[in-house]
Amino acid sequence: MNATTRLLTTLSVSNVFCRNIHSVLHQELKVAHMSEVPLKQLLLKNLRKSASAPEALFSTYVNLVDSISSPETHQEFAKTIMEPYLDSCFIPKDASPASTYDFPTASSSSVENSSENIAAIFSQEMDINRNSGQDDSFENKRLRDIQRYRAMRKWKRFGKLKQSVDPNDAFVLRLMSFNILAQSLLESHPYLYKEHDKEALHWKVRKYLITQEILQVEANVICLQEMQEAHLEEFLIPFRAQGYDYLYKKRTNDKDDGLLLLYRADQLVILDHLKVEMYQSGIEILSRDNVALVVKFALRENLETQIVIATTHLLYNPKRSDVRLGQTQILLSEIERLAFLENTMTGPKYLPIILSGDFNLEPNTGVYKFITQGQFTYQNKGRNLETQDYRLLSNLLIPPHLHVTDGCQHFNVLMQRLRGEGTGEVMLENRERGQKRLSEDASRAEELRVNGGTSQCQTIEIDDKHSVNFSSGTLTHPFRFRSVYKHKNRHGKPEATTNQGKWVTVDYIFFTEVEPLDKYSLPTADECNDLPTIPNYAVGSDHLCLAATFKVLKKKRSSL
């Protein structure tokens, strides 16, 4: 294990770091000298992201060390004054995990061996009953944690009666959503994992637990967030073997993780898909690297039966709910163009939609209300989308030159749909598709209709029945999303999907036009507090997974 890896996987390092801040500063300057990385920008970026200055400094240090890839530099680094006290945070090289965890066949300290042993332990399906009543060893405690976790995650039916589904009438679709915690993110925020079992943080151990839990749920569609690109190929192996195919979309720019959507290729066919980038150059509110996948599926056995499934991982920064709102507006406008079926007397008709992922926002906050109620006024709210008395948002959220209306529709798509005019081209840039925003000439033609340069509210009539708004201060969307989870148990205790200082819900499965049959129930925050902080030996990520089963009505084949 080289010095960098050791540094990054150290859990108590930030405590040590705080005690040795002078050495770190000295070291940071030394490493900065060896690196091409602009120290000031990096530090500023980390200050923005971190909860405290020491954490920012430590992240900067880690980033710097990580940026230096030559073995000589690592050697140089290994010789430095950091080493003695970093070493003290690690299991010594020759220490066997057997001494700590007493794995049945553990004989070496390699992670590979540890994970194989863990696999062996898990596959024996918990010797816990045999062991209980004997010594209260660490091993027994761990097995009890696994059992307690499993007891928390029962499948619960919607409604009292068991629904029977006639396969001639409906398809049973099970969807899972899971933020699996990219190892790179775990390693770049080591101060978050001080209290954890070190061994449970190795990617091999976490990958095993994550894969086991996903496969055991037997979903037809699996939406994963924080899939590290470098881990993708090895991660796919068991899923490929089970007949899953996939789409992957990395977050933009320098991020190395993204969204992985796996689907059962023997049951579902992809008719169309969008790899959505929220990043739009030169626009502050859309300057983050978050992405989404929007996929139009058909049943392989009945191609007329279609559904749109989308997943995303929105910005983390707890203070910038305005950014998450702008990102949601982009995402919903992309879902809108893929899910659109037809205009009817009562309004547009859409395919069934399931939208899932890590939205980094809590129930009943601004963006949640927008998604579930279809309307939200941001004007005169603070950046957290709550009322506050300074730095109020104006009527302008995302700029009109993107041609995304306040109703979450692409203006050009609407013009083509309703008037048969224009190219129907979307004005979002997309680096993966090499799609720039429309050239000046093309956009000038569009500007005749939408004044992209103004921040004034604009209303544009498309035909005698349809008009659209830009920068009105209020967003709407045409979908009636419901959440699978109600975020509280029957006693009113809040459920949780992750721990952000406290246990909270930030992951969701929203749906329209399908009938939920059952869900993989979530524990309450209080119940989560009874388990060792995740990731642990029962849960491989810092989020809990969500899953639900839906009844998708089959289209009757039109008889000739």
**Residues making contact with ligand KL2 (CB under 6 A):** 49-50, 179, 185, 189, 192, 316, 358, 360, 498, 500, 506, 542-543
Residues 53, 475: Cα–Cα separation, whole Å:
37
Cα 397–chain centre separation? 23
SS3 of 304-328: the string is EEEEEEEEEECCCCCCCHHHHHHHH
* Nearest to 548, CA basis, from 451, 452, 483: 483
Report in angstroms how near the CB of residue 543 gets to ligand KL2 at its nearest: 6
Report in angstroms how near the CB of residue 547 gets to ligand KL2 at its nearest: 18
Report in angstroms how near the CB of residue 268 gets to ligand KL2 at its nearest: 27
Report in angstroms how near the CB of residue 542 gets to ligand KL2 at its nearest: 6
Of the pair 56, 393, the CB lying nearest ligand KL2 is at 56
Beta carbons of 481 and 342 less than 8 angstroms apart: no
* Largest pairwise CA distance in the chain: 81
Beta carbons of 328 and 367 less than 8 angstroms apart: yes
Cβ-proximal residue to ligand KL2, closest one: 316
Report in angstroms how near the CB of residue 318 gets to ligand KL2 at its nearest: 9
In sign, the C-alpha dihedral spanning 323, 328, 331, 333 is negative
Cα 117–chain centre separation? 30
* Nearest to 383, CA basis, from 522, 244, 284, 449: 284
Of the pair 52, 88, the CB lying nearest ligand KL2 is at 52
Six-digit token pair at 317? Answer: 């920064």
| DSSP annotation of 226 | E
Six-digit token pair at 501? Answer: 């200082």
Report in angstroms how near the CB of residue 272 gets to ligand KL2 at its nearest: 28
Report in angstroms how near the CB of residue 49 gets to ligand KL2 at its nearest: 4
Of the pair 319, 433, the CB lying nearest ligand KL2 is at 319
Q: What is the CA radius of gyration of the chain?
A: 25
Q: Which three-class secondary structure state does DSSP give residue 285? A: helix
> To which H or E segment does residue 118 belong?
helix 111-123
Of the pair 28, 358, the CB lying nearest ligand KL2 is at 358
Of the pair 426, 509, the CB lying nearest ligand KL2 is at 509
Of the pair 257, 518, the CB lying nearest ligand KL2 is at 257
Of the pair 395, 533, the CB lying nearest ligand KL2 is at 533
What are the CB-based long-range contacts (under 8 Å, 24+) for 240-247?
242/215, 247/273, 247/275, 247/293, 247/295
Report in angstroms how near the CB of residue 62 gets to ligand KL2 at its nearest: 13
Of the pair 49, 466, the CB lying nearest ligand KL2 is at 49
Six-digit token pair at 95? Answer: 């220490």
Report in angstroms how near the CB of residue 534 gets to ligand KL2 at its nearest: 11
Report in angstroms how near the CB of residue 362 gets to ligand KL2 at its nearest: 11
Return the axis-axis angle of helices 232-241 and 203-217, rounded to nearest 10°.
30
Of the pair 149, 191, the CB lying nearest ligand KL2 is at 191
Of the pair 192, 286, the CB lying nearest ligand KL2 is at 192
Of the pair 242, 529, the CB lying nearest ligand KL2 is at 529
Angle value at C-alpha 395, between 394 and 400, nearest 5 degrees? 120
Report in angstroms how near the CB of residue 259 gets to ligand KL2 at its nearest: 12
Beta carbons of 134 and 140 less than 8 angstroms apart: yes
Q: What are phi and psi of 221, to 5 degrees?
A: -130, 130
Beta carbons of 436 and 429 less than 8 angstroms apart: yes
Beta carbons of 538 and 520 less than 8 angstroms apart: no
All residues at 6 or more sequence positions from 526 whose CB lies less than 8 Å from its CB, including other chains: 493
Of the pair 49, 144, the CB lying nearest ligand KL2 is at 49
Residues 415, 465: Cα–Cα separation, whole Å:
13
The Cβ-side half-sphere exposure at 506, using a 13 Å CA radius, reads 25
Report in angstroms how near the CB of residue 384 gets to ligand KL2 at its nearest: 16
Q: Which residue has the tokens 């490929």?
A: 240
Of the pair 143, 182, the CB lying nearest ligand KL2 is at 182
Six-digit token pair at 222? Answer: 């699996």
Of the pair 173, 509, the CB lying nearest ligand KL2 is at 509
Q: What are phi and psi of 225, to 5 degrees?
A: -110, 155
Six-digit token pair at 461? Answer: 């009539």
Report in angstroms how near the CB of residue 171 gets to ligand KL2 at its nearest: 31
* Nearest to 143, CA basis, from 159, 132, 154, 156: 132
For the chain, helix, strand, coil in percent to 5 are: 35, 25, 40
